Amino acid sequence: MQLVQLPANLPAMEQHPPSDFARLRRKPQRGAYDRATIHAIIDAATLCYIGHIIDGRPVVIPTFHWRYEDRVYWHGSAASRMLRANAAGGEVCLTVTLLDAWVLARTSFNHSANYRSVLCYGRPSLVEDANEKLAAMKGFVERLFPGRWDRLRPPTAQEIKATSILSMPLTEASAKIRSGPPMDNDEDRSWPVWAGLLPVHLAGDPPIADADVVSGQEPPAMPA
């Protein structure tokens, strides 16, 4: 089976005008709709939340995602109720959020957070072509741990069959970003309490080797 290669660096896509549904209404100055911004936020996040309707009820599921060009992908068990519902052609909302800092002001009303978020709307489709499916699986692993796929045992035909992969175009998406210091009122700036930013980031702990790891086998770097 010939594996389709996924390039590491992709050119910026042209901007899609936001739909009326995707356009920000509250604090529209924080909105962004260009492909470069939306792609960068999606790529920086490893976890997304997918909202959809199952049996007439709203369900939001956390899952891992990855992007290739102007599509976002996610995967799961072929027996998953969520993936079966997604593959049936219903609309979903996929969102990612990155928390960058707590913003402490001099009044509780002006406390905030610096963040980057994306909302994507659309109808996902099932990846069925064998080459595309295997390439997508490689893209998922290589995005987090570059160079690891070629060192792993190749997936069996049954493992590939048991895995469903869906993709959705990023044609209806919007980003919302807050950055910068607290926005205190002029009359509050002399209030005697600390104000500013408490930056936030994810950090990994030292690796914990499996009991059967052979001496000399080094762990991969923590995903950025």
Range of the domain at 117: 28-146+154-183+190-199
Q: What does the mean pLDDT of the chain come to?
A: 86
Whether residue 15 is contained in a domain is answered as: no
Query: Is residue 103 pLDDT above 90, yes or no?
Result: yes
Q: Which of 38, 54, 9 is nearest to 172 (CA)?
A: 38
- Domain-located, residue 224: no
Confidence (pTM)? 0.84
CATH number at residue 43: 2.30.110.10
User: Per residue in 120-167, pLDDT tens?
Assistant: 999 999 998 888 899 999 999 999 999 999 999 999 989 988 889 999
Residue 6 lies in a domain: no
Instruction: Tell me if 172 sits within 8 A of 122, measured CB to CB.
Output: yes
In a domain, 80, yes or no: yes
pLDDT in tens, 10-54: 334 455 667 777 777 777 778 788 999 999 999 999 999 999 888
d(CA 89, CA 86): 6
DSSP β-ladder status, 196-199 and 163-169: unpaired
Q: Which pLDDT does position 8 carry in this prediction?
A: 37
**34 domain-assigned:** yes
Domain count for the chain, please give it: 1
pLDDT band at residue 5 using 50, 70 and 90 as cut-offs:
very low
220 located within any domain? no
Structure tokens at 135: 């390439």
